[in-house]
Structure 1
Amino acid sequence: QNMPRKKKSSLSRLTKAARNIFRGRQEESQEDRITRQQADRDRHATARQAETEDERHTRQQADRDRHATARQAETEDERHMRQQAEREGTARARQAETQDQRLTRQQAEQEVTTRARQEETEDQRLRRQQTEREGTSRARQEETDTQRLRRQQTDQEGTARARQAETEDQRLTRQQTEREGTARARQEETEDQRIRRQQTEREGTARARQEETEDQRIRRQQTEREGTARARQEETDTQRLRRQQTEQEGTARARQTETEDQRLRRQQT
Structure 2
Amino acid sequence: MAAMYSKEDLRHNDSSKATPSRPKDQATDVTSEKKSVGKECPTCKGSGCIQEPAKPKTVDIDAEVIDTHHQLPVLPSPLPKPHREFVHCMPPEPPTYRKFSVFTAGSIEMGKAVQWQKQMVTMLSPLPITVNNPRRGQWDPDATQEARNEAFREQVEWELSALEQADVICFFFDCTTMSPVTMLELGLWAASDKVIVCCDKRFWRAGNVHIVCERYGIPSVDNFEDLVPAVRKMLEQKGMQLENNGDIIGENEHVEKPKPKKKTQLEAEKEDLQRQIDALEAQLANSKV
Structure showing greater radius of gyration is 2
Does the alignment reach a TM-score above 0.5? no
Higher percent of residues as helix: 1
TM-score after normalising by structure 2 = 0.20
Higher percent of residues as strand: 2
TM-score after normalising by structure 1 = 0.21
Higher relative contact order (CA 8 A, sep 6+): 2
